[in-house]
A and B are shown apart, each in its own frame.
Chain A
Amino acid sequence: MAREQQAAQTLFRLSGVSCAGCVNKIESAVQGVAGVQDARINLADKTLKVQGAAAPQSCIEAVRQAGYDAEVAKSSERQRREEQRAQEERHYHQLLWRSAIALGVGLPLMAWGLITDKMSVNSFADQLAWGVMGLITLAILVFCGGQFFSGAWKALRHHSATMDTLVALGTGTAWLFSMLVVLVPHLLPEAARHVYFEASAMIIGLISLGQALEVRARGRTSAAVEKLLELQDTSARVLRDGKEVDLPIEQVQAGDQLRVRPGEKIPVDGMVLEGGSLVDESMLTGEPVPVKKGEGDNLAAGTLNKNGSLLFRAEKVGADTRLAQIIEMVKNAQGSRVPIARLADKISAIFVPVVMIIAVVAALVWFNLGPDPRAAHMLVVLTSVLIIACPCALGLATPMSVMVGVGKGAEYGVLVRNGKALQQSCNLDVLVVDKTGTLTEGSPRLTDIESEGDSDELLRLLASLEQGSEHPLAEAVVTAAHEKKLDLQKPSDFEAITAHGVMGVISGKKILLGNSKLMQRENIPLGDWKARANNLAEAGRTVMYAAVDGVMQGIIAVADPIRDDAAAAIARLRKLGLRLEMLTGDNQASAEAVARHLKIDKVHAELLPEDKERIVAQLQKDGARVGMVGDGINDAPALARADVGFAIGAGTDVAIESADVTLMRSSLHGVANAVELSRATLGNIKQNLFGAFIYNTLGIPIAAGVLFPLTGMLLSPIVAGAAMALSSLTVVSNANRLRFFKPSEVH
């Protein structure tokens, strides 16, 4: 129901609307249009939402008649993003301007102070000159730093203190003290008649510059989502009344038939109706080899059609496409916090008021115990401590790295659900791997056929017989015969004997296919076939005996083949320090054969789904941090129990919803990529936290003057301002280094 409503909803952007009075006028005008069920205006973003089947043009006409203007808003995520970018750009330029103006006043003033050393008020002329300078600086504080003061005031009223509070207090104190010197110099001792107007202007300028650079650097951290958004096409070629029409993507509905030509992007999720082509899914799955798509295959929005034309039916559109879900998930995960941030969070929460107290205490110490000029020293210490102490860098340390890390993962087909999963993936001890479909391809294949005579003829007979069987192994035999293009016949007198095998008559010959029990039952001696069968069974294959007219003719072996890249991926995971254990419902012999081949440490075979969860729980009880890899649906309980569940290959909605980490490709390399990414991200977070902690823990004492006995100098508030501006920038830039992360092996 909700979805139907959404489909019939049109968003308009209004112009000329400025007051609440206009709202009623437009709403009632539009409600009069035939087919409109509801019309709502949002005054904040000047949009009109119309529900119902009315034609957009009629609604626009109604708005025009009411004296305003409207246009259909393309409210796609991409559009929104572009607007956001434009606004960010404006903010960036605004900050640059503010910085330039403030530094334009502050720098010459500072140069004057350094060159002439005449920054004191000793005469009426000084009072006058510095008074004018004070007013100019006041203008700088109001126009370039106004937002710090309004923010500080608002936060103060809410009993909270922010970075604005520190900046406003620092610069405000410097200015007020200087103004006091200008107005009543005679009240102060001669040595303390120094003005600090340049400090106020410089601090505002430097912090604005730092913020501008931060806005720039931050823009880059979310590049991953932007890349994903760019995968979404803006229009689609839809078949309407036998014609192909280009429509905006928002108007495509589930059930529509769409055409994609070579070189075009698939606009929505769907199923191929006609045609065949190679589709490059690398942007979504990280899989570099294009996948062959034909009738009945699924297509995903955002993937690239390479060489053929495809007609397909739209199945999921808009926010339901897998790409949209991925974007949503990446965005959500990017904003989540990692457990390691907890301490930093706690510190940030109480930091500002604590710093204010430290600043006052330090100022009082200097005033009471410090050398002359005490008042000047007190002011420098107070201002410097306030300015240098901003905990922004501390607050940014983790979210910036998580943002880049999660985005980077998406690029390699590793979807991390939240920051917690990202952190936990880095220190796993054991990786428990489901066999079928993860280490192996998941569908049995005929691997060996040994016969007395023509093996193709034997295969033809056996496949003809197995056509009637529903056993999964039968499918492997039939598929192998199809691949060899053998002509199959229908069997007569077909019989499936439970737990034994099958028998039937083909071209007058009685064919038997089954295990040794079947042959015993039919009194057919196995001869030396038994030894050959045992060899194959030891290699992990399921062996069946074949007899024609009561005589053994050969054996066939079926196995679920190991994935091409499984051995390399396992070797990589072992190198990363993980112990590997295999879980499978399959028999012990096959499981052990696979484990031997892949060098897996331990095997748990013949399990039921609930056993898998129990094994994970047992490992955890023994103190191990357990990662579980499975294909998402039957392994769900174990995936949920594990410290980190990796849903592999599925990429289905369920897996995306439920797993901690979803790997878009069916390869264990994805797990190795995820572990490497997680370690890189955690390393980055630790660097950031270290940087931010060091900066605050060293910065505050230095600003408070602990180095004074050694250097004879106090930290200038200007240096404190520059350091503060640099701190956040350093953290954001360091987080951006993660963008260069590459897994140790790219497949």
Chain B
Amino acid sequence: MIATLVNTIGVLLIIAIIWWFWLGPRRGAAKTVAVSEQLQIVVKDGVYEPDHIRLPSGHAATLHFLREDPSPCSEWVIFPDLEISAELALNKETTVEIPAAKPGKYPFSCQMQMYRGTLTLE
């Protein structure tokens, strides 16, 4: 009886992990802004908030990062495909200039790749 219960929980857990991290719909977190608007991305507790940013393509833009997380992993934000990186000051806003680029998805992350976000230019 217990064996069945434990095994069922285990299998359900695996399905839940697959669904939650890979297959499931991602809700809400995306934020769209116009170029003129000031968008603040808070770096706290291991995540970027918002972690999905939409910007119109073909225009340069400025992102404002506010790092509230003292963990050293969060010290840098890197946009590898845009060849941009910035050192984020703690408890202070750091601006990151995004050059005009082609439409597409540009992931960004911390140095350890633990904090992740996506910038979508459309």
Q: How far is the CA of A149 from the CA of B121 in the complex (A)?
A: 33
Q: Decide: A150 and B45 in contact? CB cutoff 8 A.
A: yes
A358 to chain B, nearest CB (A): 10
Q: Decide: B7 and A161 in contact? CB cutoff 8 A.
A: no
Asked whether any CB of chain A lies closer than 8 Å to the CB of B90, the reply is yes
Q: How far is the CA of A49 from the CA of B114 in the complex (A)?
A: 34
Q: Given A159-B26, A399-B111, does the pair A45, B83 have CB atoms closer than 8 Å?
A: no
Q: Decide: A151 and B45 in contact? CB cutoff 8 A.
A: yes
Asked whether any CB of chain B lies closer than 8 Å to the CB of A563, the reply is no
Q: Which of B72-97 contact A (CB under 8 A)?
A: 72-73, 75-76, 78, 80, 83-87, 89-93
Q: Decide: A364 and B72 in contact? CB cutoff 8 A.
A: no
Please report the number of residue pairs spanning A and B whose Cβ atoms sit closer than 8 angstroms: 136
Q: Decide: B70 and A159 in contact? CB cutoff 8 A.
A: no
Q: Which of A146-173 contact B (CB under 8 A)?
A: 147, 150-156, 158-164
Residues of A within 8 A of B51 (CB): 158, 160
Q: How far is the CA of A158 from the CA of B115 in the complex (A)?
A: 11
Asked whether any CB of chain A lies closer than 8 Å to the CB of B47, the reply is yes
- Name the residue in B70, B72, B111 with the highest tally of chain A Cβ atoms < 10 Å from its Cβ: B72
Report which A residues bind B (CB closer than 8 A): 42, 44-45, 80, 83-84, 87-88, 90-91, 94, 147, 150-156, 158-164, 211, 214-215, 218, 331-332, 334-337, 345, 348-349, 353, 356-357, 360-361, 363-364, 367-368, 378, 391-392, 395-396, 399-400, 418
Residues of B within 8 A of A161 (CB): 21
Q: How far is the CA of A378 from the CA of B9 in the complex (A)?
A: 13
User: Which of B14, B73, B113 contacts A345 (CB under 8 A)?
Assistant: B113
Q: How far is the CA of A29 from the CA of B93 in the complex (A)?
A: 24
Residues of B within 8 A of A418 (CB): 83
Q: How far is the CA of A159 from the CA of B84 in the complex (A)?
A: 25
Q: Decide: B90 and A155 in contact? CB cutoff 8 A.
A: no
User: Which of A84, A162, A357, A363 contacts B115 (CB under 8 A)?
Assistant: A162
* Residue ID in chain A nearest B50 by CB atoms: A158
Q: Decide: B91 and A45 in contact? CB cutoff 8 A.
A: yes
Additional A-B contact list (8), CB under 8 Å, known A147-B45, A151-B45, A357-B14: A150-B45, A152-B46, A155-B47, A337-B80, A353-B18, A367-B3, A392-B114, A418-B83
Q: How far is the CA of A368 from the CA of B112 in the complex (A)?
A: 36
Q: Decide: B113 and A353 in contact? CB cutoff 8 A.
A: no
- Name the residue in A42, A45, A153, A361 with the highest tally of chain B Cβ atoms < 10 Å from its Cβ: A45
Q: Decide: B113 and A395 in contact? CB cutoff 8 A.
A: yes
User: Which of A45, A160, A361 contacts B21 (CB under 8 A)?
Assistant: A160
* Residue ID in chain B nearest A347 by CB atoms: B113
* Residue ID in chain A nearest B93 by CB atoms: A44
* B25-56 interface bits toward A, Cβ cutoff 8 Å, 1 = contact, 0 = none: 01001000000000010001111010100000
Q: Decide: A349 and B10 in contact? CB cutoff 8 A.
A: no
Q: Decide: A399 and B114 in contact? CB cutoff 8 A.
A: no
Residues of A within 8 A of B73 (CB): 163, 392, 395
Q: Decide: B72 and A215 in contact? CB cutoff 8 A.
A: yes
Q: How far is the CA of A84 from the CA of B26 in the complex (A)?
A: 35
Q: Given A45-B92, A159-B26, A357-B14, does the pair A399, B76 have CB atoms closer than 8 Å?
A: yes
Q: How far is the CA of A457 from the CA of B22 in the complex (A)?
A: 88
* Residue ID in chain B nearest A367 by CB atoms: B6
Q: How far is the CA of A337 from the CA of B80 in the complex (A)?
A: 6
Q: How far is the CA of A158 from the CA of B31 in the complex (A)?
A: 13
Q: Decide: A353 and B93 in contact? CB cutoff 8 A.
A: no
B38 to chain A, nearest CB (A): 11
Q: Given A335-B78, A335-B86, A392-B73, does the pair A44, B91 have CB atoms closer than 8 Å?
A: yes
* Residue ID in chain B nearest A361 by CB atoms: B14
9 closest A-B pairs by beta carbon, nearest first, are A335-B85, A395-B112, A151-B46, A348-B113, A353-B21, A91-B70, A395-B113, A45-B92, A399-B111
* Residue ID in chain B nearest A342 by CB atoms: B80
Q: How far is the CA of A364 from the CA of B9 in the complex (A)?
A: 10
Pull 24 A–B residue pairs with CB atoms less than 8 Å apart, ordered by A.
Answer: A44-B40, A84-B89, A151-B46, A151-B47, A154-B44, A154-B47, A155-B47, A160-B47, A161-B21, A162-B47, A163-B114, A211-B71, A218-B75, A331-B87, A335-B86, A336-B80, A345-B80, A360-B17, A361-B10, A364-B6, A367-B3, A367-B6, A395-B111, A395-B112
- Name the residue in B6, B22, B73, B114 with the highest tally of chain A Cβ atoms < 10 Å from its Cβ: B114
Q: How far is the CA of A334 from the CA of B77 in the complex (A)?
A: 11
* Residue ID in chain B nearest A351 by CB atoms: B113
Residues of B within 8 A of A162 (CB): 46-47, 114-115
A669 to chain B, nearest CB (A): 28
Asked whether any CB of chain A lies closer than 8 Å to the CB of B13, the reply is yes
Q: Decide: B89 and A80 in contact? CB cutoff 8 A.
A: yes
* Residue ID in chain A nearest B81 by CB atoms: A337
User: Which of A45, A153, A160, A363 contacts B10 (CB under 8 A)?
Assistant: A363
Q: How far is the CA of A399 from the CA of B77 in the complex (A)?
A: 11
Q: How far is the CA of A392 from the CA of B110 in the complex (A)?
A: 11
* Residue ID in chain A nearest B75 by CB atoms: A218
Asked whether any CB of chain A lies closer than 8 Å to the CB of B61, the reply is no
Q: How far is the CA of A94 from the CA of B114 in the complex (A)?
A: 22
Q: How far is the CA of A66 from the CA of B78 in the complex (A)?
A: 41
Residues of A within 8 A of B76 (CB): 335, 399
Residues of B within 8 A of A80 (CB): 89, 92
Residues of B within 8 A of A151 (CB): 45-47
Residues of B within 8 A of A211 (CB): 71-72
Q: Decide: A357 and B18 in contact? CB cutoff 8 A.
A: yes
Q: Decide: A368 and B114 in contact? CB cutoff 8 A.
A: no
Q: Given A44-B92, A399-B111, does the pair A368, B7 have CB atoms closer than 8 Å?
A: yes
Q: Decide: A337 and B46 in contact? CB cutoff 8 A.
A: no
Residues of A within 8 A of B6 (CB): 364, 367, 378
User: Which of A83, A214, A332 contacts B85 (CB under 8 A)?
Assistant: A332
Residues of B within 8 A of A368 (CB): 3, 7
B52 to chain A, nearest CB (A): 9
Q: Decide: A214 and B7 in contact? CB cutoff 8 A.
A: no
Q: How far is the CA of A364 from the CA of B24 in the complex (A)?
A: 24
- Name the residue in B6, B13, B78, B111 with the highest tally of chain A Cβ atoms < 10 Å from its Cβ: B111
Residues of B within 8 A of A152 (CB): 46
B24 to chain A, nearest CB (A): 7
- Name the residue in B3, B70, B78, B93 with the highest tally of chain A Cβ atoms < 10 Å from its Cβ: B70
* Residue ID in chain A nearest B19 by CB atoms: A159
* Residue ID in chain B nearest A225 by CB atoms: B87
* Residue ID in chain A nearest B112 by CB atoms: A395
Q: Decide: A349 and B116 in contact? CB cutoff 8 A.
A: yes
